[in-house]
């Protein structure tokens, strides 16, 4: 496949659809492993140290690596090619994750070493995710699938992984312990590498990318990604909103929610139920968007769903803390409305980004939205001992609300409802 916009694919066959389905299979298995690790590490720290501050530190190192790797790894993805970058990233991640239980069960794992390995795992994982995201438009075209539907399905498998992985993590933590879950996580990365390596075509690195990469250095590639984002407010402002919300989400998921569950219910099973309800319902919301999303106003849908699904859930947790079944149901409703968020943003980014810049721009988008996330765990770990868990949840919810409502009032975002067709097939 070339980047020439005039190129037309032959009618899709089952074999031509297989690479896209293989990508989804790889994503869902590796994402289940990510959920296992994301829940196992904070619970492991709480269980072994009893320290909220150290739990916040672990959350900081887990998310800091994602931001760093998204920024620095995007140019590497361009140079290696999408498929090779995905396979290499997965194999390296499998090795780094496996070291955590290996050291813990043999020579011992001091806290500083755990932080180092958690950071390394995130650092190595992110380029693979960037590479797989960059493959979606070409694989969708190969399968003759609408880009909105392909983006929704790509996000949907991640949502589904939370529905599967979260209760599984809660049960397995109770029966085999958090450290043993990391062996499973390592295996999921290996599976992803095998599937992508064997079932996704190598020719997903268009000539436009190769000429762009060879004509400039590494730093020039990063500058091009930043410059493109700065010129496009339709991509820039949602990225800034995500910077704030991901900071709050990281603090909530890595610290506030585990602390809330441990103090209120005393069982990791409820932690798994809460995350599963939210993630499972978000998966359903993503499926619904995939079916009808092309008919919805993007800006209005993004702002309303982000506000209800993202901000209001904090107030539900406080208001229904002692009614766990009701709380799980309400969080499922929030999850359903959060489902369209990523597909809308990804669809807009795919439409507005030339294929020659896709890995770099998506790397900058990921880094920009995640750069605040490392501070979320530290912030949550610092304020909970001072003001308590309930006040911390309310504070996070209030800031979240201000950030998401801004999507409804910024005039430049009206361009989100005007799809760009110039770059959908790679035309610059």
Structure tokens at 106: 């043999």
Band (pLDDT 50/70/90 cuts) for residue 45 is: confident
Chain centroid, CA 303 distance in Å = 19
CB burial string 309-326: b at 16+ within 10 A, e below? bbbbbbbbbbebbeeeee
* Angle separating helix axes 268-292 and 14-49, nearest 10 degrees: 150
The residue ranges of every structural domain in the chain are 14-417
Task: Answer for the pair 217, 62: CB distance below 8 angstroms, yes or no.
Answer: no
Question: Is the model's pLDDT at 276 over the cut of 80?
Answer: no
Q: Which residue has the higher pLDDT, 6 or 242?
A: 242
Share of the chain above pLDDT 90, in %: 6
Band (pLDDT 50/70/90 cuts) for residue 5 is: very low
Pick the CATH number of 14-417 from 3.20.20.140, 1.20.1250.20, 3.40.50.1400, 2.102.10.10: 1.20.1250.20
Question: Is the model's pLDDT at 422 over the cut of 70?
Answer: no
Give me the mean pLDDT over the 134-139 stretch. 78
Concatenating the DSSP letter of every residue in 24-42 gives HHHHHHHHHHHHHHHHHHH
pLDDT tens for each residue of 74-107: 667 767 777 888 888 888 888 888 888 888 788 8
Give me the mean pLDDT over the 15-43 stretch. 77
pLDDT tens for each residue of 151-162: 777 777 777 776
Task: Answer for the pair 104, 213: CB distance below 8 angstroms, yes or no.
Answer: no
Please state, in angstroms and rounded to a whole number, the distance separating the CA atoms of residues 190 and 91: 6
Neighbours of 412 (CB within 10 A): 11
Q: Which residue has the higher pLDDT, 130 or 323?
A: 323
Question: Is the model's pLDDT at 23 over the cut of 50?
Answer: yes
pLDDT tens for each residue of 277-298: 887 788 888 888 877 877 888 8
pLDDT tens for each residue of 154-187: 777 777 776 677 677 777 777 776 677 778 888 8
Alpha helices in 144-217 (DSSP H): 147-176, 178-199, 207-214
What's the pTM?
Answer: 0.63
What is residue 261's predicted lDDT score, i.e. its pLDDT?
86
pLDDT tens for each residue of 343-384: 888 888 877 877 667 767 776 777 666 667 777 877 888 888
pLDDT tens for each residue of 309-328: 888 899 999 889 888 899 88
């Amino acid at each position: 496949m070339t980047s020439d916009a005039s190129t037309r694919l032959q009618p899709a066959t089952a074999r031509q659809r297989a690479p896209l389905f293989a990508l989804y299979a790889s994503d869902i298995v590796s994402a289940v492993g990510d959920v296992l690790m994301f829940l196992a590490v904070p619970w492991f720290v709480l269980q072994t140290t009893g320290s909220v501050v150290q739990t916040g530190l672990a959350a900081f190192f887990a998310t800091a690596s994602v931001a760093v790797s998204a920024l620095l790894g995007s140019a590497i993805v361009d140079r290696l090619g999408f498929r090779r970058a995905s396979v290499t990233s997965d194999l390296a991640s499998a090795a780094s994750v496996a070291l955590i239980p290996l050291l813990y069960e043999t020579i011992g794992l001091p806290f500083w070493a755990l932080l180092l390995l958690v950071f390394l795992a995130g650092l190595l994982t992110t380029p693979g995710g960037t590479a797989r995201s960059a493959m979606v438009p070409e694989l969708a075209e190969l399968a003759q699938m609408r880009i909105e539907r392909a983006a929704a399905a790509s996000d949907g498998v991640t949502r589904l992984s939370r529905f599967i992985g979260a209760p599984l993590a809660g049960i397995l933590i109770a029966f085999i312990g958090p450290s043993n879950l990391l062996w499973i996580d390592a295996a999921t990365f290996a599976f992803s590498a095998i599937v992508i390596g064997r079932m996704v075509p190598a020719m997903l690195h268009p000539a436009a990318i190769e000429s762009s990469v060879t004509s400039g250095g590494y730093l020039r590639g990063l500058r091009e990604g930043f410059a493109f984002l700065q010129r496009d407010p339709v991509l820039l402002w949602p990225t800034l909103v995500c910077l704030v919300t991901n900071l709050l989400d990281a603090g909530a998921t890595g610290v506030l929610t585990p602390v809330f569950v441990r103090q209120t219910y005393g069982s990791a099973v409820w932690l798994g139920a809460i995350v599963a309800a939210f993630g499972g319902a978000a998966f359903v919301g993503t499926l619904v968007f995939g079916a009808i999303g092309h008919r919805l106003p993007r800006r209005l849908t993004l702002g309303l769903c982000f506000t209800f699904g993202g901000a209001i859930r904090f107030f539900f947790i406080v208001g229904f803390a002692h009614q766990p079944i009701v709380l799980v149901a309400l969080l499922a409703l929030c999850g359903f409305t959060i489902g369209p968020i990523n597909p809308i943003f990804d669809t807009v980014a795919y439409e507005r980004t030339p294929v020659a810049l896709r890995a770099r721009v998506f790397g900058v988008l990921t880094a920009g939205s995640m750069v605040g996330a490392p501070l979320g765990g530290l912030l949550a770990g610092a304020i909970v001992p001072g003001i308590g868990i309930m006040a911390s949840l309310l504070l996070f919810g209030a800031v979240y609300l201000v950030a998401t409502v801004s999507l409804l009032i910024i005039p430049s975002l009206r361009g989100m409802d005007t799809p760009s067709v110039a770059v959908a097939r790679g035309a610059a």
